[in-house]
Amino acid sequence: MKKLWMVSAAVLLAACSGGPGSGDVEKALTAYFKEATGTTMTFERLKVGECSRGDSPGYACSVTGTARYQLGTRTEQQQLVGTFVIDKVDGTWIVVDRR
């Protein structure tokens, strides 16, 4: 019983760490690319690695996957590999930097 309580506490602490979840990162990336390109991107096989808090504001999250978007009548795709810094501004997770 003691082990179960310790595992439950560890899971709760991890969930309350304050960092963005995968869904938060995907929404932030969608808004980021929409603002930058004027096109709505969808993501396939999007994998969000660990999001770590650094010295600067936000969480650095490694991201891999494929981005798809419309260019005229064509659907284009591009590999997405990089580290994006995600921060919560006015209650919304946004991309504040790309490394």
In a 10 Å sphere around its CB, with 0-12 CB exposed, 13-18 middle and 19+ buried, how is residue 79 labelled? Answer: exposed
Q: Specify the pLDDT at position 4.
A: 43
**Distances, alpha carbon 61 to alpha carbons 20, 27, 55, in Å:** 9, 13, 14
pTM for this one? 0.79
d(CA 17, CA 23): 15
As a whole number, mean pLDDT of residues 1-10 equals 43
d(CA 33, CA 4): 43
